[in-house]
Chains A and B, each alone.
Chain A
Amino acid sequence: MKSIAELEEIRKKALDKMGIRTNTEGYRVVVGMATCGIAAGARPVMNAFMEELNKRGIKNTSVTMTGCIGVCRLEPIVEVIDPDGNKTTYVKMNAEKAVRVVTEHIVNGRVCVDLTIGSEEKK
């Protein structure tokens, strides 16, 4: 049985890690989490972002939620905002695509053009 006392150990580890956290401004990942997003599978997408960022030790990228972005038919939708404030809107996301966005966009700075709303609308 898990006990709340285990958090003490986790707290210590987290404090050690926080010491080496860089203060440079990072990316922001915003996942649409309204009825439409949730029904389309936004929760696993958010999880995939969290896991991949943790796996790669990326600490200065935040993952947050927002409501309905307004194009429900393209959910799950994820907005990635770079440190300069440029926003990329990814549509019809899933866990695999989320991993790709972390690797290509957040780590290497290359937008995954084929997953963006612009490219989807051209189809």
Chain B
Amino acid sequence: MRDLSLHLMDIVQNSIVAMSTRISISIAAYLESDELKIIVEDNGKGMDNEMLKKVTDPFVTTRDTRKVGLGISLFKASAERSGGYLDITSEKGVGTTLEAVFKINNIDRPPLGDVADTIAGVLVSNESLHLALTLSRDDEMFSFDTEEVKKMLDGVPINEYEVLNWIKGYINEGINVTFGGVLNEINS
């Protein structure tokens, strides 16, 4: 994966396949500890302990069309390569929370990438999904919530082209305000 937004897209797809109706994504920068923390929390069907233990193994997947499942293992490798870690907690019937931590100034940290495009991409074919995104940097915080958008839209589908375009612009602004000058790939 070229950047973090593509990993995020991949992980969110896992949540959708696990029948989640609500997904919360948080991307937070902690300057003091030089950490970028990405958390994806869903209310999908969850995993039992046995599955949880082996889910980062690339030769484990729930699919039966092939024997490999690379999504989580690639994300984990990417986090560990840049001095961070990946952690998953899950409860069957309740949901799953994935946390990936990267060292911000580690040379091997992938760039953030186009998070707005990831969110819009997910919404294209999952218009009933409740998706929340929080971006934060120490005391600065930005949030986006599909429920607020849907309230404003009052029946107009969230995956209308113009709406998605607005969402992309809105999130991109949030990214610039929150991470500009903090992540070196984003200008302040």
Contact = CB atoms under 8 A, between A and B. Distances in A.
Nearest to A51: B161
B146 to A, nearest CB: 12
A43 B9 contact: yes
B34 interface: no
Contacts of A54: 161
Contact of A67 (B13, B74, B163): B13
Contacts of B118: 43
A7 interface: yes
Nearest to B145: A4
A7 B163 contact: yes
Interface string A8-30: 10110111001000000000000
Given A2-B169, A13-B162, A35 B71 contact: yes
B173 A70 contact: no
Given A35-B10, A35-B71, A70-B66, A43 B152 contact: no
A10 B162 contact: yes
B89 to A, nearest CB: 21
Contacts of B117: 43, 47
Given A34-B13, A64-B125, A68-B63, A8 B152 contact: yes
29 contacts: A2-B166, A2-B169, A2-B173, A4-B148, A4-B170, A7-B152, A7-B153, A7-B163, A8-B152, A10-B160, A10-B162, A11-B154, A14-B153, A14-B162, A35-B10, A35-B71, A36-B70, A38-B6, A38-B13, A39-B2, A46-B124, A47-B117, A50-B124, A50-B161, A63-B125, A64-B125, A65-B124, A67-B13, A68-B65
Interface of B: 1-2, 6, 9-10, 13, 17, 63, 65-66, 69-71, 74, 117-118, 121, 124-125, 148-149, 152-154, 156, 160-164, 166, 169-170, 173
